[in-house]
Amino acid sequence: MRSIFLGMLCMNDEARLITNPVEWQGILNQLPHIHALQSWAWGEFKSRWGWSARYWVLAEGKEGVNAAALILKRPIPFTPFSILYAPKGPLLDYHDPALWPTVLSQLERVAYRERAILIKIDPDVSQATGYDPAVPEPLGTAFMADLQARGWLFSQEQVQFRNTVLLDLTRSEDELLAAMKQKTRYNIRLAAKKGIIIRPGTSADFPALVTMYRETAARDGFTIRPEAYYLDAWQTFYRDGLAYPLLAEYEGVPVAGVLLIRSGRTILYMYGASTDKERPRMPNYLLQWEAIRWAKGQGAARYDFWGAPDQFAETDRMWGVWRFKEGFNGQVVQTIGAWDYPVRPRLFRLYTHTLPRYIQVIRRLQRRD
């Protein structure tokens, strides 16, 4: 098996590294459905938090680049091995199945050359739209079958949200409002009547935003990273013109905020935060509507609410967040999720199965003691 793989290395053209941010942005501009997590800014930021970033051209044609990926690399301590991750990548026209084997082959080769145990991808490829019932997407079904045939495995570690909600911004504001649930429209108008003011923010507002984000995490029961992590990420996006903060205030005091991230013709509602102050005034509804209006004014075609439940049931951890987003009447998109290629199968099993179980046992024993 290994000799076949090594033979494949000799037959195909090499992937090409990009070392210039301007050139990388030019490449992204050639590709459909680019994502902010494939930007130079995201790779630069992650390189300060335990990863190294490399920007690869994976396929080229006469008219330019056909596929590319930012691939993050994290070394495994005390070993010569690493794990690789292409967040929201690779980038290519997935409606061209002829590209799939070339791109996947290049990813596998890069992973082998980088001494990786695994390489993880989680492209924005839909496997279904809607829910109850969900409508299958043939493209996603076919791509998953291709991944499985090549030995890729559905990942036990889903880093990003698998599902999301997309709002079509090509409609007028009146049409967007009319499509919302009646209670959502009412709460938007109520917030305005109750004195909630929405203002654009700057990087100077990031400390206040991260404080509200910490309060949100404590209230809603999710784990967050150190404050410095978010401040670093937001400043990096903001410096590159990709981040836009909006704040909701009452009598000059911030009570909620969002950080919108530009991603091609999509605007991501990537971070949202609020305090317990003035919640009866419904600041989050007006804030979200003004964020949508801003995205539309920027010429964006889609507004991505960035996350929906894995299972559309009250037991899902995101059910409360989903009920808020549902009111804006976007379309649920269920993606194929993250997939792993086990470059070194024995080490892959040790890393993804045996070691996590061992750590769980140790933690249980520690708690018992």
Mean pLDDT of the residues in the chain: 92
Q: What is the mean pLDDT of residues 332-356?
A: 91
Domains 2-160+337-368 and 165-334 share a fold: yes
Task: For the domain covering 165-334, report its CATH number.
Answer: 3.40.630.30
Cα distances (Å, whole numbers) of residue 216 to 11, 110, 162, 260: 52, 39, 22, 17
Question: Could you identify the residue written with the tokens 């299972």?
Answer: 311
pLDDT at 123 over 70: yes
Residue 356: pLDDT band with limits 50, 70, 90: low
For residue range 140-152, what is the model confidence (pLDDT) as tens digits?
999 999 999 999 9
Which tens digits make up the pLDDT trace of 149-165?
999 999 999 999 999 99
Nearest to 330 by CA among 279, 272, 284, 288: 288
Q: Give per-residue pLDDT as tens, 253-304.
A: 999 999 999 999 999 999 999 999 999 999 999 999 999 999 999 999 999 9
Domain residue extents for the chain:
2-160+337-368, 165-334
Q: Which DSSP letter does residue 17 get?
A: E
User: According to the model, what pLDDT value does residue 1 have?
Assistant: 42
pTM for the model stands at 0.91
Q: What is the DSSP string of 250-313?
A: ETTEEEEEEEEEEETTEEEEEEEEE-STTGGG-HHHHHHHHHHHHHHHTT-SEEE---B-SS-S
Share of the chain above pLDDT 90, in %: 86
335 compared with 11, residue with greater pLDDT: 335
CATH 3.40.630.30 fits 2-160+337-368, yes or no: yes
Q: What is the CA radius of gyration of the chain?
A: 22
What pairing do the DSSP bridges indicate for beta strands 196-200 and 243-250? antiparallel
Instruction: Give the integer Cα–Cα distance in Å for 267 and 291.
Output: 9
Given a cut of 60, whether residue 9 has pLDDT beyond it is no
Average pLDDT over residues 113-132: 96
Provide the pLDDT confidence category of residue 221 given band limits of 50, 70 and 90: confident
For the CA atoms of 249, 217, 208, 160, the dihedral, rounded to the nearest 10 degrees, stands at -100
pLDDT of 275 reads 95
The one-letter code for the residue type at 139 is L
Show the tokens assigned to 24. 């990388």
